[in-house]
Amino acid sequence: MTQNSSRPPLPPFSEETAREKVRLAEDGWNSRDAARVALAYTPDSTWRNRAEFPKGRDQIQDFLTRKWTRELDYRLIKELWAFGGNRIAVRYAYEYRDDSGNWFRAYGNENWEFDENGLMAHRHASINELPIRPEDRLFHWPLGRRPDDHPGLSDLGL
């Protein structure tokens, strides 16, 4: 993908295309392929993620590589919250374990802004996480894309 490639669906978003964009983002992150995921962002994309502020694809790729090195068995569900024009708001939850076998569930909200090519130019994330017991895990699909028949956040009461 070149730096100016199109990444459909493109803004302005309808409810259908906003939901599609959210699912594509979820699928990408569940791949844990930092280089591929970074291509969904503009070359100069800016992020706010907890206390980190990556700028540009290289920093985003480095951030995601570090993240998925620490967050093992990562599984994510995103859900559309709101949309308008070239912006989408999502809520999400993900589960992972650390290298000591401790499990966590993180909850968050993201605000996204896209350029005319459907690349994300800005990502603002707010995240909280808590330790969970292994028996309290809810995301049990094999690593990779969440199956279409797996419940979403609302279905799981999250």
pTM: 0.95
pLDDT for the residue numbered 4:
57
pLDDT for the residue numbered 79:
98
**Domain 15-136 - what CATH class?**
alpha beta
The backbone torsions φ and ψ at residue 75, rounded to the nearest 5 degrees and listed phi first, read -140, 130
Distance CA 99, CA 123 (A): 28
Domain boundaries, the chain: 15-136
pLDDT for the residue numbered 72:
98
The terminus-to-terminus CA distance of the chain in angstroms comes to 35
* DSSP letters spanning 103-157: EEEEEEEEEEEE-TTS-EEEEEEEEEEEEE-GGG----SPSSSPPTTS--TTTTT
The backbone torsions φ and ψ at residue 25, rounded to the nearest 5 degrees and listed phi first, read -65, -45
Q: Strand 103-114 and strand 120-132: pairing?
A: antiparallel
pLDDT digit string (tens) for the chain, length 158 residues:
455 589 999 999 999 999 999 999 999 999 999 999 999 999 999 999 999 999 999 999 999 999 999 999 999 999 999 999 999 999 999 999 999 999 999 999 999 999 999 999 999 999 999 999 999 999 999 999 999 999 999 999 99
Instruction: State the Cα angle at 35 between 118 and 114, rounded to 5°.
Output: 15
